[in-house]
Structures are given as C-alpha cells and as structure tokens.
Amino acid sequence: MIKKVDHIAIAVSDLNKEIEVYKNIPGFEFSGTEVVEEQKVTVAFFKVGDIFIELLEPLSDDSPISKFIEKRGGGLHHIAYEVDDIKKEITSLEEKGIRMLDKEPRTGAHKARIAFAHPKDFSGVLTELKEKGE
C-alpha cells in the first residue's frame, strides 16, 4: 500500500547553482548530496515538512536525467511514493493494468529499493515506488 509522498524530484543541469537557490527558500532544509552511480545522477536533498525535494543532476551524457533535460529542459522529473513492500506493490500495480518500467527493484539514493511506473499510466507523470533503505 502506498503510505505517503516521499519526494518530488526535479531535473537540473547545474546542481551547485540550484542548491544555492533552494537554500534561500524559507522552510527548505538542505541535508546534503549523494552520488547514485546506478542511476547516473548526483542528488541534492531538501527536507520540506515531511517530504523531500530532490534535485537531480546527470553524471554523464547517457544518464536518464541528461536525456530528460535534453528533451524537455529541467523541471519536474518524478514523484515518489513510499511503500513497505516494493515487490508486492509492483505486482499489485501490474495486476491493475499499470505498466511498470521496472519489474524488479533497483537501488536508489540512501540504498532504497525503487521501481518506476510508466508515466502514461499516471497522467504523464513518471511515478516511483520507494521502499526505504538506510
């Protein structure tokens, strides 16, 4: 079962510049960065209430975020929902006709287990399921 919105991810081309912008927004608490090699991104984390805003910068030209920015420019990349049992949720969504881009979980930031659903099945929004890691 989906428990809550975990984070909103925003694709950016200049992470350091955007970190400085977001640090100046009242209520946004900067909590560091992490390189996620498997996803080919560097992520900056800002806590806002009970959720996070994640700024995603591509590590290379073949990063999915690089391709996203090339096609659409920066901006909203995905919304992530926290779940307790990601494998169970993948199966549940597939049974309801939702196309999963990931049939098996992958590793995301903080060693979380993640899986993405096709954006066409969520009103054009890339949707991530996230089972907490560290």
pLDDT tens sequence across 52-87: 999 999 999 999 999 999 999 999 999 999 999 999
- Each residue's pLDDT tens digit, 11-67: 999 999 999 999 999 999 999 999 999 999 999 999 999 999 999 999 999 999 999
pLDDT attached to residue 133 = 83
Q: Return all residues near 131 (Cβ < 8 A) that are at least 6 apart.
A: 82, 83, 84, 85, 86, 105, 112, 113, 114
**Going by C-beta distance under 8 Å and a sequence separation of 6 or more, which residues neighbour residue 2?**
81, 82, 83, 89, 129
Which CATH number is correct for 2-131, 3.20.20.70, 3.40.50.1580, 3.30.70.1710, 3.10.180.10? 3.10.180.10
CA 116 to chain centre: 9
Token pair 């890691």 is found at 133
Digit-coded pLDDT (tens) for 95-110 = 999 999 999 999 999 9
